[in-house]
Structure 1
């Protein structure tokens, strides 16, 4: 698979694998199948694996750690800290205090069963702790060999600048797809000015851009998307009209809508490495094959115009979650 760089020194596959849904949020998981999916991803040339300590309250890191036994050297492993959760799953808030950074890192290393985390993200910015304090402690973990590179997630431009001035930031992870174009205004220009890579999560619009959810009723009862504004009644029908453009482009290329959506993200720059998540082999293989879909300038323009900022109905998060992004 094509390789791309996050920042000047971190080389990864052009497409990564997000593992969140294997443990939580998108219905019940199957550990055996998830392990097979991760192994297959590595076989297909995916070298960039993404997890976080809050996914499944530690379960996801343990699962990824099991999957990488015997194959650790071929993987760039990314995880995150900052979302505190009780053992029962209760959300306890955001924590960026230096003592917590160190405690969280050590716990992740233990769950993953590794000696070093290649890319360590602050999952959300703690508005009560100066970013210089958080990143300062992260940098000390780099110097101690526990972390390779630093990342931020859902941080705003000024926070990115302050963090990068404290210690080089290799990557920013933020939601970005055809139906989440906000980073194009201020985030991407800031990253490119500073030489920071961009890792879009949910590049398939939480699965909507695959075409698998034509109606709200198609979403399983225990699925997070049941509560997401863009999947709400009234919004999902309007967004479904936009999806017809993706399906039309896919038909012209004898491809899946998901592959077109990912190919569009990949075409937005060599510094962009999307991490579509899946727990199913079929979707993994479809997603991975998107690197072979080449969209024309006309295709890209048509997709970009259809999904221009402001045309998607509904916010990407509920009110509470929106307050934690862009800080």
Structure 2
């Protein structure tokens, strides 16, 4: 599978990664999915300490045992929880990050993390304190690089200005084009890569999506408008000789700031469909323009 360089790092990641959050909690199935992804060219796995209160990291760790050198491993920190207790609270402090990374390393069965990401962030955070933690972990060799997972433009701008991050993970799809408003161009200008999560919009941008539209719609898309857009996208995909899934995964990758898309999968059929997009050709400028006419640009209402 083709790989892209992640920002200014020396990490080269597959253009389609695996978002591990949706793997489930059954070990054999989760490990089977991860192994299948690795065997089909995926080398980028994204998890977080929050997912299933650490169990997801444990499953990823078991799956990559003996295969660590094949994997660019990403996890996240910032949501402070106590094992066995419900709920969590936001904690981007240096003290917590330096403590939490040890637990992630143990669960993942590794002595280093390729990409350590802040799992959120607000403008009121102690941003310099957070950056100090990441920089210390880099110097110690515990992490190779760091980034943030955020859709907030005001937070992203601060990390661009103050930090040496190599990536920003954000939701980006044909149905959520908010990053196009300003953030993508900013990150491209600073050679910081985007990791596009949610590229299939909770399964709406798949062949069954038009039959599973929630009554409340999706983001700022009312259900009737969403149904019309999805049908038009499906028709365009058919006319292009592509699956809607392939079209949806290729759309974020058409922007030069985007290094990878990370759809999730809970079944082998989903994984196979997602990875089939790697054989689809990159979208042309004409195709991108056509898709943007079918959908519409979303605008950030908060966190500007």
> Displacement, 1:128?
4.2
State which of 139, 143, 146 in structure 2 corresponds to 1:143. 139
Which moves more between the two structures, 163-172 or 145-154?
A: 163-172
> Displacement, 1:301?
1.6
For the pair 1:37 / 2:33, whether they are aligned, the reply is yes
> Displacement, 1:283?
1.4
> 2:2 is matched with which residue?
2
> Displacement, 1:130?
2.0
Q: 1:127 to 1:296 in 2, by over 3 A?
A: closer
Equivalences, count: 301
Which moves more between the two structures, 114-123 or 294-303?
A: 294-303
State which of 67, 91, 114 in structure 2 corresponds to 1:71. 67
> Displacement, 1:81?
0.6
Mark the runs of 5 or more structure 2 residues left unpaired by the alignment. none
> Displacement, 1:181?
0.5
State which of 79, 84, 87 in structure 2 corresponds to 1:83. 79
- Structure 1: how far apart are the matches of 2:7 and 2:286? 30
What aligned pairs does 1:216-235 form with structure 2 within 5 A after superposition? Answer: 218=212, 230-231=217-218, 235=222
Q: Is the 8 A contact 2:185 2:257 kept in 1?
A: no
> 1:13 is matched with which residue?
14
Instruction: Specify the SS of the correspondent of 1:56.
Output: helix
Q: 1:54 to 1:44 in 2, by over 3 A?
A: same
> Displacement, 1:158?
4.3
> 2:236 is matched with which residue?
249
Instruction: Specify the SS of the correspondent of 2:261.
Output: coil
Q: 1:296 to 1:159 in 2, by over 3 A?
A: closer
> 2:203 is matched with which residue?
207
- Structure 1: how far apart are the matches of 2:169 and 2:175? 16
> 1:303 is matched with which residue?
291
- Structure 2: how far apart are the matches of 1:122 and 1:206? 22
For the pair 1:258 / 2:245, whether they are aligned, the reply is yes
**Cα offsets for 1:247-279 (capped at 9, x unmatched):** 112212433211111111222226431111112
Instruction: Specify the SS of the correspondent of 1:169.
Output: coil
Mark the runs of 5 or more structure 1 residues left unpaired by the alignment. 24-28, 220-225, 316-321
Q: Is the 8 A contact 1:276 1:287 kept in 2?
A: yes
